[in-house]
Amino acid sequence: MPLNTILITLLLLLVFSYFIGKGRAIAVSTTKSNGRRNLHSLPSYYGYMVALWTVIPAIAILVIWTIFETQIVSSLTFSSLPAELQQEGQSSFGLLLNEVKNAVQSGQVDSFTDPVKIAAAERYESVRSISLLAKTVVVLGVALVCLYLGWRYIKPETQARNKVESIARWAMILCASIAILTTVGIVFSVIFESVLFFKSVSITEFLFGTKWSPQTSIRADQAGSSGAFGAVPLFVGTLLISLIALIIAVPLGLMSAIYLSEYASSRFRSFAKPTLEILAGIPTVVYGFFAALTVAPFIRNLGESLGLTVASESALAAGLVMGIMIIPFVSSLSDDVINAVPQSLRDGSFGMGATKSETIKQVVIPAALPGIIGGVLLAASRAIGETMIVVMAAGLSANLTFNPLEAVTTVTVQIVTLLTGDQEFDSPKTLAAFALGLGLFLITLLLNVIALHVIRKYREQYD
Amino acid sequence: MNKSTQIVEAGLQKRYAKEKRFRLYGLISILISLAFLVILLADIIGKGYPAFQQTYVKLDVTIDGEVLGLTAESPEDKLYSASYSKVIRNALREKFPGVTDRKQKRALSNLVSKSAAYELRDMVVENPNLIGTSGSYWFLAKDDVDVFMKGNIDRNLPESDRRIKDYQLEWIDTLVAENRLEKRFNTVLFTEADSREPEQAGIRGALMGSLYTMLITMCLAFPIGVAAATYLEEFAPQNNKWVDLIEININNLAAVPSIVFGLLGLAVYINFFGVPRSTPLVGGLVLTLMTLPTIIIASRAAIKAVPPSMREAALGLGASKVQTVFQHVLPMAMPGILTGTIIGMAQALGETAPLLMIGMIAFVSDIPQSIIDPSTVMPVQIYLWSDSPERAFTERTSAAIIVLLAFLITMNLVAIMLRKRFEKRW
Amino acid sequence: MSTEIADKNRDEFDIEILNTVGKPFIDKPEDIKMATRDCDVFYGDKQAIFGVDLDIGKNEIIAMIGPSGCGKSTYLRALNRMNDTIEICRVSGSLTLDGQDIYSKKQDPVLLRARVGMVFQKPNPFPKSIYDNVAYGARLHGLVSNKADLDDLVEASLTKAGLFKEVKDNLQKPGTGLSGGQQQRLCIARTIAVDPEVILMDEPTSALDPIATAIIEELMDELRHNYTIAIVTHSMQQAARISQRTAYFHLGKLVEVNATNDVFTNPEHQLTENYITGRFG
């Protein structure tokens, strides 16, 4: 039975077992006097209980089976191959297996002439169909057994509601834990590949090397020795572009927030605030397009008319557009923290004869400073991790420079370039992307944790 | 009036000037930010709106059975495989009989799109009686012609600097004079998937890819997000290490760069679990993880806003905690939860970077039919097109952006309306 | 509460107020610091203060009492235009300081607030050092030209507020780290550093413990010699202890003004009597 059919059968079983459970509950209750009042819970809870008991173990088995099926099937196919082919190792087997799989799926096994391939295909097909059959039998069998057990279990005093509720509670805990699983998944996926990378390129080389050109070191014997994996230019480029973005976004965002929360009439505010937030809702790929096709040529022409040489993919263009993107982010975070400053402080200042701007500059901003700094750190983290704008508007050449008119490249640009170009997974080139990803994750993690901590402390202070 | 009052009065003018300046800075900041928005939108709309029109050419075609090697009785597979481009080419040569140079001949057949032959084929297959007849038909023009017709090639430039040469200009002028070139609404854009030829490229494939991806994201992120938020807000024990850890993780994940989620998807989903790459399935799985923090944070805020008195009322009537939450608290929090979900989905719809990592950047010229067909999504399609050198693709990129923005703005408006409509003061 | 008690309470609360009784006006014009005539205050459509006529004399402490929501704080905030910070608030009638209309176009609210300082219900020191808190107003208004003068001013103000001895070694510590009573004295020091003519106090001790309250009351009595003080208070005992005159507000109207002694021993108006004898509150 194919996967879809199994799932549909389970769905039908789910509905069926609900009614079975409910009916059974009503049946056992009415044998005594008082009828349904004997039941601990409402009859439908007995239905839910039986239904959940029937489906959950079956689904769990199905999921686990499906995850490991591919590996088990291919290793079984592998072991059936002639011994001399087995010695050729996994990679050539992988190719063979792919070929066999495609042929089986498209029904073109007949086109094979090599007896080894035919044998492999037959073996693969038989193992797969056995697995599928076994899976069907086991999954549906477990479901039916559980259904029977659940049915037997129902008595008037069975605490069906409590059982169902505890299942619901565990399901919720599981959902909440996905956040942790995600973090663990991120950490493991980047660390695992990075460790492989650092086997061929030393960590000091990566962290302190000033030359980055992954293209030259595809051949394993060159990797590392050529010094082509020095990530310093990438981090400097990232820093430069993020800095430009923050220089634009922080003053504009902060002043906008101040104006909106302290000066603007409610009519202007109700128009300007959502309009400003549109900037935050525009996809980054659109900003990238704008940066590459409009802003970068504009800056280059402007520079040329001033007699400056500007690269066509200057850091300034990417940084400027990234700054525009971050403005609403800074302004809405600043707005929050400025509004959290208690009115009594403003009153105190006004009461002594301060003007509005004096109050803002000397009381409100200093009081909100921790929150604002937290917001700026979050904005910095966002700028550092921003990808599409720099992929489209910043260059690929790893120049080590602080001149905003030159082209620089960033960590995220390199990750994208390394992983979208060639698909061979174990080359130092693709592994380097994960090492960069690790660096990116750690830097942004650090910024986020500090920022979130600062903001939380700040909020507690005025709560 | 005492002495200090006099001092205060003396300094007032200066202080008010400062006050005014400060206020002006604020206003200027907002106006600059808003100006950026206006420039951005105007730039995109200005570049993109011509793409909603496409140039068509009217040709007098003789569907010659001899040229095609067909008769009205030919079997269908023959009808399919015949060389219709020859017929189109003949029609063009007939129109401009003076062309002899080989290079110019090729340029001549490049006036119409390659799709003209397929259109003709479909017509003949549908009605084989057309063989042997003549008639005037409209065909899609080649992108260069289209670009020229939209006024994006300056004919006053020296010939060597333009994509359209003098002889091509002449043909176009003749066709225009005979009313054989016409701009119509660009249906191709909405009915076709990606193509190497700009005039045949459409966003249908990317739209379907986005639709499938969003479907998966929503089916997973919404229930999981609401369940997680409900647990954290209503059931989680206070001051529990595990719960604190979950909270810190959620807040941090909301700020992790999206590209890192792409690395996760590549390493875990594709390489470890063997989910097929380039598919809406894996895209949806990655975007689920990205969207979850947004939904959880918004849902928690919505649940927190339900006043405790509602819970106490239900509990006081003998409902269990779970019943109280599911039957009273969640329905009341639902508008807020939905608003958060829509905003999260809008973010996911515009997300590009992580999808590049999991292979949704592949060139796909078929419209995906299921969640495990290779496909691309709208933002990635925009990225792919923006990388293409042809001027016609720039235009289509902007058009795709306009379509994407239209979706995003609609989603956000729905979210705002939902919030306004159900905003309750308990 | 039984309906009987509720009805009785309402009867004692619902007495019509026609005119202010007692002595709201001061006879000698040269003794008047601030004066209001027919003062109304509105929040949007809602009127909070109805036609208050009152003179505030030089170097006196005038206490304003009344049940919650009677408008005494609103009236106080009208005296230095703090209500300007509330968008929907509107003040009409004549309010004068030394005979000049404080709501006229010519009058500058900043200058007014430098002359009429205010101390708030909740101590609200700025998140700065103690020194900077006190120096805040002087720096703002440019009252002193050099550091030595500023040091002197800070010391003098803190001394007047009775705080200097306690904090002289910690002037650079944050003002928010002080105890509640110290914070409130810091706020008073901050206010007198600007050298105002009138100090408005809005329930300055309601957030403080009895000992801190006693210290501040003592301080007010000393300040009276140099400043005019108008204080809103919740506590009738406090009004009795520190003020020379007492004004009783009820539902936005000024009911009675008399010498404090008379108000508490021999109230003229029935409502005043009901309030001070605790029949409602």
Average pLDDT over residues A267-276: 89
What does the pLDDT read at residue B424? 58
* Residues of the domain holding B208: 204-422
| Residue A451 burial (CB count, 10 A) | 24
Per-residue DSSP letter, B162: S
- For chain A, what is the mean pLDDT? 85
- Total tally of structural domains belonging to chain B: 2
Q: Which residue has the tokens 């999260």?
A: B344
What does the pLDDT read at residue A225? 44
Residue B266 to residue A419, Cβ atoms within 8 A: yes
Of B1, B5, B7, Cβ closest to residue C142: B7
pLDDT at A222 over 60: no
What does the pLDDT read at residue A88? 64
CA-wise closest residue to B202 among B312, B410, B54? B54
Instruction: Please state, in angstroms and rounded to a whole number, the distance separating the CA atoms of residues A270 and A275.
Output: 9
What does the pLDDT read at residue A217? 44
pLDDT tens, position by position, C99-151: 889 998 888 888 899 899 999 998 999 988 999 999 999 898 888 888 999 99
Which chain C residue shows the shortest CA-CA distance from A358? C140
Min distance A444 CA to chain C CA atoms (Å):
30
> Could you tell me how many CB contacts below 8 A there are between chain A and chain B?
261
pLDDT at A227 over 60: no
Q: Which amino acid is at B321?
A: K
What does the pLDDT read at residue B39? 95
- For chain B, what is the mean pLDDT? 88
Per-residue DSSP letter, B112: B
Are B341 and B401 members of one domain? yes
Enumerate the residues of chain B whose CB falls inside 8 A of the CB of residue C197: 2, 5
Enumerate the residues of chain A whose CB falls inside 8 A of the CB of residue C111: 353
Note the CATH number of domain C3-121+197-276.
Answer: 3.40.50.300
Which chain B residue shows the shortest CA-CA distance from A411? B259
pLDDT tens, position by position, A208-218: 888 887 764 44
Enumerate the residues of chain A whose CB falls inside 8 A of the CB of residue C140: 352-354, 358, 362
Question: Which pair of structure tokens corresponds to residue B275?
Answer: 């989910």
pLDDT tens, position by position, C30-80: 889 999 999 999 998 899 999 999 999 999 999 999 988 888 999 999 998
Min distance B316 CA to chain C CA atoms (Å):
25
Per-residue DSSP letter, B142: P
Of A258, A290, A434, Cβ closest to residue B40: A290
Question: Which pair of structure tokens corresponds to residue A361?
Answer: 């500059």
Q: Does C40 touch chain B (CB under 8 A)?
A: no
Query: Global pTM?
Result: 0.86
What does the pLDDT read at residue A223? 45
User: What CATH number has the domain bearing residue B295?
Assistant: 1.10.3720.10
- Whether the CA torsion A215, A219, A220, A223 is positive or negative: it is negative
Min distance C127 CA to chain A CA atoms (Å):
6
Residue A281 to residue B18, Cβ atoms within 8 A: no
Residue C114 to residue B8, Cβ atoms within 8 A: yes
Residue B5 to residue C115, Cβ atoms within 8 A: yes
Q: Which amino acid is at C271?
A: L
pLDDT at C11 over 60: yes
Three-state DSSP class for residue C199: strand
pLDDT at A106 over 70: no
pLDDT at A302 over 90: yes
Q: Does A381 touch chain B (CB under 8 A)?
A: yes
Q: Does A307 touch chain C (CB under 8 A)?
A: no
Instruction: Please state, in angstroms and rounded to a whole number, the distance separating the CA atoms of residues A101 and C128.
Output: 72
Boundary-marking domain end, from B135, B153, B185: B185
Opening angle at CA C279, ends C275 and C281, nearest 5 = 60
Of B2, B10, B15, Cβ closest to residue C197: B2
Cβ–Cβ < 8 Å for C159, C134? no
| Residue B60 burial (CB count, 10 A) | 13
Which chain B residue shows the shortest CA-CA distance from C194? B4
List strands edge to edge, sheet with C32-43: C46-57, C32-43, C89-97, C100-101
Are B327 and B258 members of one domain? yes
- Whether the CA torsion A10, A11, A12, A14 is positive or negative: it is positive
Min distance B424 CA to chain C CA atoms (Å):
23
Are B209 and B160 members of one domain? no
- According to the CATH classification, is domain A232-462 in 1.25.40.10? no
| Mean pLDDT lowest among A96-105, C49-58, C156-165 | A96-105
Q: Does A266 touch chain C (CB under 8 A)?
A: yes
Using CB atoms and an 8 Å cut-off, which of residues 63-82 of chain B contact chain A? none
Min distance B77 CA to chain A CA atoms (Å):
22
Residue C141 to residue B2, Cβ atoms within 8 A: no
pLDDT tens, position by position, A341-390: 999 999 999 998 899 999 999 999 999 999 999 999 999 999 999 999 99
Q: Does C112 touch chain A (CB under 8 A)?
A: yes
Q: Which ipTM was obtained for this model?
A: 0.90
pLDDT at C280 over 80: no
What does the pLDDT read at residue C281? 66
Determine the residue among C106, C195, C199 to mutate to test chain B binding: the one whose Cβ has the most chain B Cβ atoms within 10 Å.
C195
Q: Does C143 touch chain B (CB under 8 A)?
A: yes
Q: Does A281 touch chain C (CB under 8 A)?
A: no
Using CB atoms and an 8 Å cut-off, which of residues 235-254 of chain B contact chain A? 235-236, 245-246, 248-253
- Residues contacting residue B332 through CB under 8 Å, at least 6 positions apart: B306, B310, B424
Domain segments of chain C: what residues? Answer: 3-121+197-276
Cβ–Cβ < 8 Å for A72, A131? yes
pLDDT at A401 over 50: yes
What does the pLDDT read at residue B86? 85
pLDDT tens, position by position, B330-382: 999 998 899 999 999 999 999 999 999 998 888 888 888 888 888 999 999 99
Rg (C-alpha) for chain A, rounded Å, is 31
Min distance B74 CA to chain A CA atoms (Å):
30
Residue C112 to residue A366, Cβ atoms within 8 A: no
What does the pLDDT read at residue A375? 93
What does the pLDDT read at residue A129? 85
A31 φ/ψ angles, rounded to the nearest 5 degrees: -70, -25
Are B295 and B171 members of one domain? no
Using CB atoms and an 8 Å cut-off, which of residues 238-267 of chain C contact chain A? none
What does the pLDDT read at residue A218? 47
Average pLDDT over residues C155-160: 91
pLDDT tens, position by position, B300-310: 999 998 988 88
Domain segments of chain A: what residues? Answer: 3-158, 232-462
Q: Does A346 touch chain C (CB under 8 A)?
A: yes
Three-state SS for B38-102 is: HHHHHHHHHHHHHHHEEEEEEEEEECCHHHHCCCCCCCHHHHHHCCHHHHHHHHHHHHCCCCCCH
Opening angle at CA A329, ends A327 and A330, nearest 5 = 70
Q: Which residues of chain B have pLDDT under 70?
A: 1, 423-426
Residue B1 to residue C111, Cβ atoms within 8 A: no
CA-wise closest residue to B93 among B62, B135, B119? B62
Cβ–Cβ < 8 Å for C176, C200? no
What does the pLDDT read at residue C259? 93
Three-state DSSP class for residue C258: strand
pLDDT at A224 over 50: no
Are B260 and B395 members of one domain? yes
Enumerate the residues of chain C whose CB falls inside 8 A of the CB of residue A266: 87
Q: Does A270 touch chain C (CB under 8 A)?
A: no
Q: Does A348 touch chain C (CB under 8 A)?
A: yes
Share of chain B above pLDDT 90, in %: 36
What does the pLDDT read at residue C158? 93
